[in-house]
Amino acid sequence: MIDNAYLEIFVAALRKHHDFQRFESGLTDSEVANIERNFRFVFPPDLRMVLQYALPIGRSFPDWRNGPEEQLLLQLSRPLEGILFDVEANVDWPLEWGPRPADRDGRSRKVSELVGNAPRLVPIYSHRYIPAEPNKAGNPVFSVHQTDIIY
C-alpha cells in the first residue's frame, strides 16, 4: 500500500517534469470503472492509487478523464503498431516467434496474436507502459519503442 507521504513526493517530483502541465483531482471509482470497462483492462493497484490521488495532465500523459477516445486508443495500440512497423520495415522476427510468414497479412496476424496473448500494456507516460496483469502492485514499467522494449 502506497501512503500519502510517498504520493506527495511523487507529485512534487512530477511537477518538475518538462511535459507536465498540471494535476487535476484524482479519478473517482466510477471514472476508473468506466475506463476499465471501455478499454478492457484493469489498472494495476499502484497505478490506480496514483491516478486516484492526482491525475497528471500534460502532452505525453494519457488524459484518462477528458482525452478523446481515439487518442487513448492510439496510446493503447502503440506497442502493437511499433512491433508491426519493425517486422515490416526492419525485418525483425525473433526465432521464438516460429517461422516468419511469407506475406504481410500472415505476419500481421501472427504478431497480433502474440501481442494479444500477452498482458495488456497500460500507458503511463509517452512510451512508458505497465502491464495490467498480474493485477497486483509492483509490476515493472516498460519503455516500449517498437521492438526495443526495456524495463
Q: Residue 7: what pLDDT?
A: 85
pTM of the entire predicted model? 0.89
SS3 state at 28 = coil
User: Which residue carries 517534469 as its cell?
Assistant: 17
Considering only CA atoms, give the Rg of the chain.
17
- Write out the three cell numbers for 101: 510468414
Give the residue-averaged pLDDT of 115-137.
96
Is pLDDT larger for residue 3 or for residue 11? 11
pLDDT value for 59: 84
Residue in 49, 47, 65, 40 with CA at minimum distance from that of residue 4: 49
Mean pLDDT of the 10-14 span: 81
Cell numbers at 77, concatenated: 495500440
Tracing cell 520495415 back to the chain, one arrives at 89
Q: What value does the mean pLDDT of the chain take?
A: 92
Q: CA angle, corner 75, sides to 131 and 38, nearest 5? A: 75
Asked if the peptide bond before residue 134 counts as cis, ω within 30 degrees of 0, the response is: yes
Termini Cα distance of the chain: 22
Write the pLDDT tens digit of every residue in 87-99: 999 888 999 999 9
